[in-house]
Structure 1
């Protein structure tokens, strides 16, 4: 195994801060790492089953870390005891057979109770946590994005939350060299904030939604949500549909002109973005950076009451600026050149 920091005495501040940002109560121990084929060939991660044969995008499996990987892995596999030196000793009797007057052949044996002052001990059974391995994507720098996680969900409401979480964090850190946490309801890791697109031509909405979902990688968006959004986009007759690639596979969008593109994060689903000039570059920026752009470069339609009507009026205006007339009816909108 490679040399990296094996564990922590307490939860790192970065992990504590991330826990505070997670709104839900359930936490997953999860982290991503960029790994080269050379590291895999060298056997750095062979103890987790990551080899040249398994280094294929989309492959996933679970493994109980070998006990030889380190202290936490050994405890995970066979349990451990803790001597409570913080508590006072107590008197305990140990029993053993001894020869009577030192001559068992002549006098026989007797059982003696031998008193001894000892510390309390806490015994922990083996957790037998497994590490989940996912070869999520091939990155542009010839490395692979690997997601490692522990197959357990930890509740903030548990009395032993910090103790259990620290154990799982150390188990992941010891075996992979990385550690982190995520909301159990959304256990994803994005290796790049740049949003790259796959392009789909217009077609029947039901078939298109199915194709987009099947191409959605890990934890694809809900089919009904994809269909609903595509039906909205379709009313304005896009020339292409867009689907995020890699770790951003939860983004879908529609292109209406070279300088008019709409997209949305289907996982969060709280706002729709309309980009104008240089959309291919702007769409690769993280959402936090897009929001800092001049308002002339984008519009953000927050999903509050009446947002679809606001979107329709915006699209009518933008398409008219590009020589396309849109008639907004009660139940449909038609595009006319």
Structure 2
């Protein structure tokens, strides 16, 4: 009991222990000196209220713990309902490892944000792994929930915002660098077709490179063909010039030796005139080309020193 301002003895609050100085259930001046079970609402307050003496469990977000005996602690040796860790909904201890139920999500302990490469499933309140092809985290378990891709990205729709992550480009023939400048969410490559701006630029560069390669190949080839053609023309011209020179020399030699008259080349059935037959020794002859042949032999052109216009060799 305690005396009021009129020195009338009044009963303490029913939850008090070890007397009181007022009718309040708060431990301290004007209230309980102590209590069997105290209650602290949050970590940021020193106010302790007394709970019923038969309390064996605490309200949500609190846990029941014994208080060490200490001469400076009014509840030494008693019990206290202390607040749980801020990430616990219910708990059996002070740490976020001692939660019965998490306030946000559960990983190895209660967390407010799930670790990298996991996402918070609101239905189960657990952190679950991302899709295998995700990089830098995700919003769900599907390949379309990745923040970025480990290997290849395929855009879904025409707005280039939603995408699917895959380990290879299944039907799109090109892979280009992602144009997303955010290093945390940008993918290394994007699967694309020939309508993608990067692919268009790539094809244009490839076409220019092919033109340059063709120019490098064709130019020397054309030059080589022209050089060969010029060489062939020069050789043909030289051969023709040499043939003309030989022909001219032969005509000049024939004219100088008197053997430039035309001689019929076609043989006849007429018998040779033996009266005009001249016998010449073989070492005096310089035989030329065949002029013709007749009944008595073959006629050759002679370029000897003797002025004999026509030679007839008789083969007996």
TM-score (norm. length: structure 2):
0.21
* Larger helix share, 1 or 2: 1
Which structure has the greater CA radius of gyration? 2
Indicate the structure whose relative CO is greater, using CA pairs within 8 Å and at least 6 residues apart. 1
